[in-house]
Each structure stands twice: as structure tokens, then as C-alpha cells.
Structure 1
Amino acid sequence: MTSAPASPLTMLVPDFPFSYDSWLTHPAGLGAVPSERHGTEVAVIGGGMSGMTAAYELLRLGLRPVVYEAEQLGGRMRSTPFPGNPEYVAEMGAMRFPVSATALFHYIGTLGLATRPFPNPLAPSTPSTLIDLNGERRQARTTDDLPSVYQEVADAWEKALQERAELSTVRDAIQRRDTATLKAVWDRLVREFDDQSFYGFLATSPTFQSFRHREIFGQVGFGTGGWDTDFPNSVLEILRVVVTDADDHQVGIIGGSQQLPRGLWEHRPAAPAHWPEGTSLASLHDGGRPRPAVTRLRRAGDGIRVRDESGEEREFPAVVFSPHVWTLLNRIDCDPELLPTPLWTAVERTHYMGASKLFVLVDRPFWRDPDPATGRDVMSMTLTDRMPRGVYLFDDGPDRPGVMCLSYTWNDDSLKVATLTPEDRLERLLSQLGAIYPDVDIRSHIVGGPLTVTWETEPRFMGAFKSNLPGHYRYQRRLFTQFMQDDMPAEQRGFFLCGDDVSWTAGFAEGAVTTALNAVWGVLDHLGGATHPDNPGPGDRFHDFAPVELPYD
């Protein structure tokens, strides 16, 4: 294969290196369904980013998506306005997006949403970062400002990636869209590391033999911050993030990430098949609102019968399902024939990461005030081994209110606050931050009460996002490839899973978008449609790029 010229690094996931961004932007479009199928209703369950992507593209194909949503459009793109100041929002779920997420940015561009750099630790746009570890505090603008041990840790991580995961080779193949090289290297890494945890990878790397180095890396990390909450997970989960640059060069959406799925609900695509100009998803639903939560799913002849909370039942030739797959186990009464038994096993084995956040609105960005003793900002983006773990600061200028994320935690650290009321959480966090910043009176600047979330206690979610444990690759492959249904019995076709927990990059909106596009291709194929020969879709190229199969026995 002739390599293409190098291009920017993108989230071309090496397990299935199909160029979704090219498929989306090709002038031939995503395909066409037979004219007699135009206007056919297709159920789309879940109104998050994946569900909205699928529904939007099915609308453009001339089908009639019927969207079901249990709570609010957006899913884990949840931008909660502060009471009394609705122009300011707390990003309870997704809040930072790597620019390498080119399929996601196709829709950000479609809606004309503005972005700005996200204040990650030590990012070029972050005014300063404070690292509080083992009671010692270090403030820095760049990594060069930190003690030499931090550079040793950064070097150890880089060497481990280069020597054991062929980082440069994989990234170069992604940039050049050299899928042959990418698959050859990555498939070997899958075979080698499927049973290896992230911590095991570090502990067995010659460059990470010092426990102190592993501790610092876990607490601080690089890019988005500490990595220790991922230590039990499969190292493949981490490698996918790193090789696609998903942990760096991130931006936030000005005005809140929820604008994206809500925007797709309202957007009127140009020249949709079958539908008149000006048609939107909202205009196809009574009152401009989605149907309520789904309570029951049953096979019915060649279709699938869907019952919602209102008691209404409808039958559809195809259903796209985008919520967390665990909701099939405990929130929806499902026909066992909905999925083949191996897929039910994969659903059961799915592992979710927990996460908690607490936000407050403050009168102004006081953290930019100079410290009389040092001349530096009195507060910084903060990484700590104490209860807050991560503190993020957002401002729109010196004379306007600011937003503080006083704590962003994962897994065990999230559970430490799960049983506390928002007010109790705030008190504990202010106490902890007072030990880090003894001369800063955060409380005096807070306007109103805190806004909080713990995703593992949210009944429709039960976790922030899926992350595979060692040995889970085979289950992940079943979930991801479920949109390919030619080999399934006819009575088990027509139900399509999507969402970031079905993707290879769980926790990233890019995975929600790309698996939604897989489902769109699946529906297109199921209803007798086809892609344009000049623009084959993920199913058309599946056997060229299929994820490697590991032996089962």
C-alpha cells in the first residue's frame, strides 16, 4: 500500500482504522435508501451525542427517526446552568474535547459552535498549575518549572511508550492513514497486552522501576492529569488514548457542551432526502419533544416492538440503542432474543468508571489576583493527592463571574463523596483546599450553592463511562462489531448498539459519534440501502479493517 502524505494526528482508532471524518465530508454523502423506504420510522433510544448523531444522519437519509429520551437531551453532555445566572454553566459530564476528534468536530463545525483551549494542567493556555503531592506544593507554568523528578517521570513514560508500544510508528501510521502498518503493529500490541493492566505495564517497564516515579505519575500524570484511577484498567485503553493524542490539545465548547446534541435536535440539514427544506428532528416530533423513556423491548416478526413510559407501543423495522448497555439489564424489560447470548455476556461484563464533580459560581476570577509575597496568581489549576484531586478554573474576564470546578474525581475518590450532600461536599472540599491555599478565602467569593454530580449513582447511567479491564478485549470486540449483522439469524437483526461505551475510546465523544455512524450504516444496510461506490462506509470496509480476533479457547 502506498502511504498517503502526513496529515494532522487524528483519532483514527487502530483497532478499526476507518476514516469516519472522510466518510462524513465526502460530497457523495453517506448513502441512500430505496425511495419506497423514505419516511420509514426508525427508533433511536437515547438523546445523548450518539443518539443525536444517529438520528440526525437517519433524517438526512430520508428516514423518520423517533427519538426516546428518559431525562434530557444531551446525555453526559450535561451543561447545568447556575440558578439566577443561567449564562454560566457547570459541565457535569463531557467538558474537554481533543482537536484530534475530527468526526466530532464535523458536527461542532456544522452548528458553528465556538471553542476555546481547556485549562488542563501545564497546558500552554493555563496560566499556572499547582501540584500538591505528599504535603509538598509546587507551582509551575510549564514542566520546566518543576523539580527534576517530574521530568524523570515524563521521560520514563515517553521511553516506555516508545520501547514497548512503538508510539512513533503508530502515530506516524495514523498521520499518514497507513492502515496496513497501523493494523500490523496494533494487532500485535493487542495480542501482547490484552491481559496487562495499566499498572502492570508501568511496573514491568524498565524505566518505571522506582515506586516513587509510579506514584508521581499516578497522582500527576501528564496531559489531562493523574492516571492512577486508570491503573486497574487494561493498558490498551490507555494506549488508544495516547497514540491518538486524545489526552492533549483539548478545547471546551463556549456556552456548554450540551449545545451540541441539542443543536442537532433543532438543526435543519440542507437538502435532506425525502423531507422538505427546513425539516429538523424537533419538527418531526409532537410538540418538538422526544418520546419518554423506553420500558420494554420485544421482537415482533420482522421488527422490534418498543413500549415507553406513557404505555404507548410502536413497532419499528430497526432500532438504534445508544444509552449505557447496563440499562438493558436493569432499566428496560428486554426480550432475551434481542441480542445473541455472546453479546448479552459482553453486556454483563461491561465495566464502568465512576466520577464526581462539584462546581461553584464565584463573583470574579479572584484566583488571578497576585500573591503579595510571590507575585504569582493566588490560585492555580490544581492537582492534588487530597480529596479534591483536580481543581479547574474558568473565567470570562476580570469583571465577570467565574466558575470553579472545586473537585473532579474518579472511581474510589468519587465514592469518597458519593454519600455526602452537596453542602457537605463543599465543606469538606473547602477544608482540604484551605490546607493547600491557607491564605485564600474561597468561601467569601462563592455566589449561591454548589452544583454536583456523581455518575455512578445516576440511575440512568450507573457510571461515567465504560473502561475495559484486562482480558476484556474479546467482549469489546463483540459490542463494537454488533452493527455487522449479515451473519446473524434474520430474527436477531435490526437492533443496533452505539455509544461511547460500545466504542474503542470510551469516555470520548468521538467514540459516541463514530459508533453512531456504524449504526447508521447498519440501518441503511438493513433497510436495503447502500453507500455510494465512491464513498464506502464502515460496513463496506469492515473486512479490510476488522479488529483482530483473539483465540477463545
Structure 2
Amino acid sequence: MLSLLTDQQALPEPVGPLTMFGPDFPFAYDDWLAHPAGLGRLPEHVLGTEVAVIGGGLSGLVTAHELMKLGLRPVVYEADQLGGRMRSASFEGHPGTVAEMGAMRFPPSATALGHYLDLLGLSTAPFPNPLSPLTPGTVVDLNGESHWARTSAELPTAYREVADAWEKALHEHAELSMMNAAIRRRDVAGIKAIWNRLVPKLDDVSFYGFLSSSPSFASFRHREIFGQVGFGTGGWDTDFPNSMLEILRVVYTGADDDHQRILGGCQQLPLGLWDYSPGRMAHWPEGTSLASLHDGGHRPAVTAIDRVGTGFLVHDKEGVAREYPAAVFAAQNWMLLSKIRCSESLLPGPVWTAVERTHYMGSSKLFVLTDRPFWRDIDPATGRELMSMTLTDRMPRGVYLFDDGPDEPGVMCLSYTWNDDSLKFAALPADERLEVVLGSLAAIYPGVDIRSHVIAPPVTITWENEPYFMGAFKANLPGHYRYQRRLYTHFKQDGHASGHRGFFLAGDDISWTAGFAEGAVTTALNAVWGVLTHLGGTTAAGNPGPGDVFDQIAPVELPED
């Protein structure tokens, strides 16, 4: 693990790459996708059957893509725009330059996601994270004091002490080295032995509680610095109330480091899946795509879902009701409680409770487009670039700088905030947000005239204000493991009553690693397996799916009493 404040340590030669393999459900989704036998086969009489896919984000479109390849006819419903939180917004008058309003950085350890990036031939480049080797400089501005650094060694001693405290806490209380090694080996038994010990021990422990109970974090000042500066991608104090298990899933799998961005915008991935024509499909002729099956346009917002007999009646905003033998819900969980009228029988009672208990993180972003990446100009007084990637306890919290060359426009993410910090912006329109942020940055970079370089109106978003999202992503609170297990394992329905089968949940808020596109992909694949088997299909003997091996690798079950 490469933390924000720690340079890469010398480690033994790894036996394999660190991937998002487990720890809760260590199934090799990347191998399942890559196998020449494909994901499975359906009975002849089922081919061409319509299946509802509700939600046109990445999870919904991966689901629809794979169902189409199996020979089914997915019918995609989307209330807003295809892509969900993979949303790339253009600047007024500059359609070729985008701001990433939701997802924007992706770890190489996300290998199931990588399968689809490779499928569409999308190009990536390193993301300018703090203290990344390809980030020219990082400014850490806390308590009114700024420190510039190119590497962690150039930061004050207190920051090194914080980094060492974090590493020590992980090794002493979370078996970091052993888990990393087990994941690299894809040692399922080893992963589960460690994780099954830690889940009951840490389920009730918050991130902050884990830090404060560690002797290495006895100093409040160290906990404060760590919360504001963090590791990997920056400050994590907004995650302090969340379950420590959430944090370990990210750290164990290398999801906090070495990120890539998708050149041209991440929304190309879901939009590309919509238009893509697979080379090998059951039932459908060559050239078939999701777009062609929908005559170019998806169905509108869903307003109600009823269970009718052994199937489902889906009502949409245009007043059209269509019946399906199976349905996948890949939109945000809370939609089932507020925007969509649902039959109680869609889900078992304990799963409904888990949906209600889902906790979402809020998040706001503010972007501007500049005439050029002017921040790379050299300040004669310091000999350094005018501005750097910035972490601060002031209103912006995180500032990220993107450029595609000296003669191209530059994109500045002037503010990236979470939870309480996001709420400070929630009621402000874009122009007022810009004024607040520029005022804060003037104190960090006196004399730097950002406004003179801005060439388009700012673009902004607050995800908790978005009516079809109501938050950026799920983040479990202490004690939520049981709820999360119910949501994640819902795709395995052979133990459910017949009246509770056929409706499948997908999306990153169902996954163990919410907020990561990998979770959107893997839960989509779980739902695909669920639909496949619900309609009488099977996987190849040499390429079992997640449900086929579920009993051997199922997430540990905690007692309810």
C-alpha cells in the first residue's frame, strides 16, 4: 500500500497483483468474464425474452450488456441520463472538454471494470492525486499554515509521524501484510480466515474509534492531521463516523492508490456499452446493440413495480406498463422507498429493512475551465509552479488540476467536498460557490488571479440534491454489516420463498465497496447470474458463476440475536 504520507516500502517480489478480490466474497469476476465459455447458456425457449433493467448507470448497462449476450432482450429504464454517477459534463461553448461530476478516478486493482475499459478500447492516464509521482507538487494547508511538497519526505515531521501511526495501526490491528499477501495469491481460505476473524471484532467500530483506540494514534493532533490529509486520495475525516470495515476493504485491495482517469470522460464507458455490438451473442444477429434493441432510446423513469403471478409489472412515466418474468433494479436503493411505488412482496422483509438502513455520503464538486493550464507557470519568487494539487481544511477541501498540454484549455476542480462540507455548498448556486472558493484559495495562493483565466461558466453538482440519487454513494455505519450482507447476497435466491424470487438488486450501493465502479460491475454480474438461473439457464462446468460457488465463499454471517 502506498499511502499519501508514506513512500513505497521495499517488499518481497509479489506473487500476483493486488486486486479488488474480496475480502467479503472472494470470487474472481475477472476470470469469469474472460473465460471462453462465456457466462452461461439459456434454454432455447427463453431466448429473446424481455427482462427489465431499472437504472441506466454503469451497473444497469453492464447488466443489460451481459443479458443481451446471453440472448435475452433487456429493457432499460432510466429517469435521467445514461451513465448514472459516471457523468461527464461539458463546459458551455467547449463541448470537447469535460468535468467529471461523479466518478473520476479508478484503481488498477479494479480488474472487472478493466475488462469493460479494454472491451471499448478506452484510454487512461494517471490521476493527479496528492503526492503522486506525476503530480508536480502538492500543497497541504491546515490551520492557516501551508506546506508545499513534491514527495512525502518534504512534509513536516508531524506528517511522517501520522503516516507511521497509520501503517502501524493497520499492521498491528488489521493484519494488513497478511491480507495483502493472501489477496495477491488469491488465497480464498487465507482471505476468509483473516476477514472472518475481523468482521465480528470490528463491525461495531467506527473509523475514528479504530484510530483513537490505537496506541499509535494517542495524540489528538495526529488524528486531526490524518483526518484532514489522510492517505491515498486525501483527507478522510468525513469517513470517521463510518464502519472501519468499509475502510479496510479499500486499503486491503489497493483501491486507495495509483488511480487512473479515463481520457475524454468516464461517461464514455456506459455510453459505449449502450452502442457496442458484441461479436459473440446467443440469439441476436451480428450488429445488435442495446441501442438497436431500444430503437435508440431507453424507457423513461419507473413509477411503480408490482409483482404479478411469477413476474413483474413495471409502470413508467409515460403511463406504459410492461410485464417481465425477471427484473434487475440497478438504481439507487432509496428510490424504492420514495420515487417508486413498490409491492411489498418485491423483497423479503429483512431486505426491505436493509434498504431503509442504507446510509449515503453527500458530495459536492465545482469545476471551472481555464484558457490554459496557467498553474504551471513558474512563480519567480519561489521557483515553483503557481498552484499545486491542494488539500486544505478551508472550504474547497480538495483542488485537482487537469491539463492536456500547454496549448489546450485547463480544467480545475476547485472544490471536492463530502458530507458536512458538501452541505455548506448545497444551498448555493454555482456563481456563489465560485466566489466562496476563490476567496478561500486567495488566502492560500495570494496574488494568483484564477478568475482572469476562467473562460466558461462554472459547472457544479451536489449529489444529495439530485432527485434520482439523494447522495453520492453508500457508506455503512458501525453495526451495518448484517444489513449489507442481506443486500449483497440477495442475488442468491434459492432459499427465498417463490413469491420473493426474480427481482434482483445491483449497483455499487449493494456492493461491499460502494463508491467504486468495480462494485457496480461485480453486483451487476451477480444479478446476471441470478437472472440466468431464474430463467432456467446454467453456467459452463469449467466456468462457475458467483452463485454456483456461493456456499464455499459466502460472506461470514453474524448472529442476529
**TM bin (shorter chain):** over 0.9
1:347 aligns with 2:358: no
Amino acid paired to 1:417:
F
Deviations 1:426-474 (A, max 9, x none): 0000000001101200010001211000000100000000000000000
**1:520 corresponds to:** 528
1:48 aligns with 2:57: yes
TM superposition score normalised by structure 2:
0.97
TM superposition score normalised by structure 1:
0.99
1:145 aligns with 2:154: yes
Distance of 1:305 and 1:400 partners within structure 2: 50
Counterpart selection for 2:44 from 24, 27, 35: 35
**1:545 corresponds to:** 553
Tell me how far 1:264 sits from its aligned partner.
0.2
Tell me how far 1:124 sits from its aligned partner.
1.0
1:13 aligns with 2:42: no
1:184 aligns with 2:190: no
1:171 aligns with 2:180: yes
**1:454 corresponds to:** 462
**1:278 corresponds to:** 287
1:437 aligns with 2:445: yes
Counterpart selection for 1:247 from 243, 253, 256: 256
Q: Indicate the SS of the match to 2:146.
A: strand
Deviations 1:166-221 (A, max 9, x none): 00100100000100010010011101000000000000001000111100000001
**2:369 corresponds to:** 361
Deviations 1:61-103 (A, max 9, x none): 0000000000100000000011110110010000000000000
Contact 2:207 2:241 in 1 (8 A): yes
Distance of 2:240 and 2:198 partners within structure 1: 18
Counterpart selection for 2:497 from 475, 480, 489: 489
Counterpart selection for 1:218 from 216, 222, 227: 227
Spell out the pairing of 1:260-279 with structure 2 (5 A cutoff). Answer: 260-279=269-288
Distance of 1:124 and 1:236 partners within structure 2: 29
**1:330 corresponds to:** 338
Spell out the pairing of 1:27-176 with structure 2 (5 A cutoff). Answer: 27-176=36-185
Tell me how far 1:491 sits from its aligned partner.
1.3
Tell me how far 1:125 sits from its aligned partner.
1.0
Amino acid paired to 1:298:
D
**2:479 corresponds to:** 471
Amino acid paired to 2:519:
G
Counterpart selection for 2:239 from 227, 230, 241: 230
Q: Indicate the SS of the match to 1:417.
A: helix
Q: Indicate the SS of the match to 1:448.
A: coil
Deviations 1:126-146 (A, max 9, x none): 111000000110011110111
Distance of 1:424 and 1:118 partners within structure 2: 28
Distance of 1:34 and 1:175 partners within structure 2: 38
Amino acid paired to 1:533:
A
Contact 2:104 2:261 in 1 (8 A): yes
Amino acid paired to 2:387:
M
Distance of 1:223 and 1:340 partners within structure 2: 39
Q: Indicate the SS of the match to 1:42.
A: strand
Amino acid paired to 2:41:
A
Contact 2:312 2:327 in 1 (8 A): yes
Tell me how far 1:346 sits from its aligned partner.
0.3
Distance of 2:526 and 2:500 partners within structure 1: 17
Distance of 1:261 and 1:546 partners within structure 2: 29
Contact 2:22 2:191 in 1 (8 A): no
Distance of 2:258 and 2:33 partners within structure 1: 23
**1:536 corresponds to:** 544
Deviations 1:357-411 (A, max 9, x none): 0000000101000011111011000000000000000001111110000000000
Deviations 1:412-437 (A, max 9, x none): 00000100111000000000000110
Aligned residues: 548
Distance of 1:494 and 1:337 partners within structure 2: 11
Amino acid paired to 1:151:
R
Distance of 1:98 and 1:543 partners within structure 2: 29
Amino acid paired to 1:332:
I
Sequence identity of aligned pairs in percent? 71
**1:424 corresponds to:** 432
Tell me how far 1:148 sits from its aligned partner.
1.2
Amino acid paired to 2:401:
L
